[in-house]
Amino acid sequence: MDKTNTSPAPWVVHLQDVCKSFNVGQPNETEILHHINFSLSRGEFCAVMGPSGSGKSTLLNIIGLLDRPTHGQLAITGEETTGLDDQALTRLRGHAIGFVFQHHHLLNAFTALENVMMPMLGAAGFPNADIEARAAELLASVGLSAYANHPSGSMSGGQQQRVAVARALAMNPALLLADEPTGNLDSKSADAVFELLRQVSREQGTTVLFVTHNPELAKRCDKTIQVVDGRVV
C-alpha cells in the first residue's frame, strides 16, 4: 500500500542536506551530522540504529525540534521549520510530535490518568471532562484502564512505559519519537511495548521513529536507518 497518498502532507518528516555543528565559528568547531537526507510518510514505522556516539541522539533532537540544524532543511507535517522562531517551534512540537524515552519520565506522585492528562492540561490551561475522558480512552488503548487511579510510582516498568506511550499520544501527534523505549525493560515487557507502538502506527497512522540497539526489533520495522559517524548509510 502506498502510504504517502493517505497524508494531507507529502511527508510527515523530510530532511534535506541536514548538518549539525557545535562550537560554530570557533577553532574547535565540530560537525556531528553530515548531509542527512531521508523522508518518512504517514504511518511508517522506522528503526534508527547505530553505535553509541554516532549522532542518533543529535538527529532525534533535531527532528523533535529540540535543536536546530546548522545547515539544510527540515519539514515536519509539510511545514518547513528552519525559519520558524522558538515560539512557533514550540507550538509545532506540542501539536505534531510525541516523545517516549528510555526512562518514562512520569510524575510518580500522580496517578496514571493524571500523567496522561498533563500534555492536554498544558494546552488547555485547566482540567475539564473532555480531557479526563480522552486520557481514560488512551489508557484503555494501552490496556491500563484498571490502573487509571494508581500512582504511577507503584506500577511495574512495563506498565509505566505504556503510560508514557499513552501520554505521548495525548495530542494525537502525527509523529512519535521513541528513543530506546524498551532499553530498560525485560524481553517480555519490551516486546509488549514494541507491539503497542506498532499497533498505534497501524491503527492511527502515526509515523514512528524508533531508536533501538536491538536488531531483532529493528527487523520488525518497516525500514531501518543506520547512523554511523554522523551519516545515514
Q: How far does CA 72 lie from the centroid of its chain?
A: 21
Domain count for the chain, please give it.
1
Contact 179, 171 (CB under 8 A): no
Reference 189, options 216, 162, 166, 211; nearest CA is 162
Q: Average pLDDT of 185-189?
A: 86
For residue 67, name the pLDDT band (cuts at 50, 70, 90). very high
Q: Which domain holds residue 211?
A: 3-232
CA distances from 65 to 45, 89, 126 (A): 19, 6, 26
**Looking at residue 151, what DSSP letter applies?**
B
| pLDDT on residue 127 | 73
In this structure, how many other beta carbons lie within 10 angstroms of the beta carbon of residue 86? 9
With vertex at residue 57, the alpha carbon angle to CA 26 and CA 161, rounded to the nearest 5 degrees, is 150
Name the band, by pLDDT with cuts 50, 70 and 90, for residue 8: very low
Asked which of 71-80, 123-132, 162-171 is least confident by mean pLDDT, the reply is 123-132
CATH code at 17?
A: 3.40.50.300
Predicted confidence at residue 3, as pLDDT, reads 41
Residue 7 reports pLDDT greater than 90: no
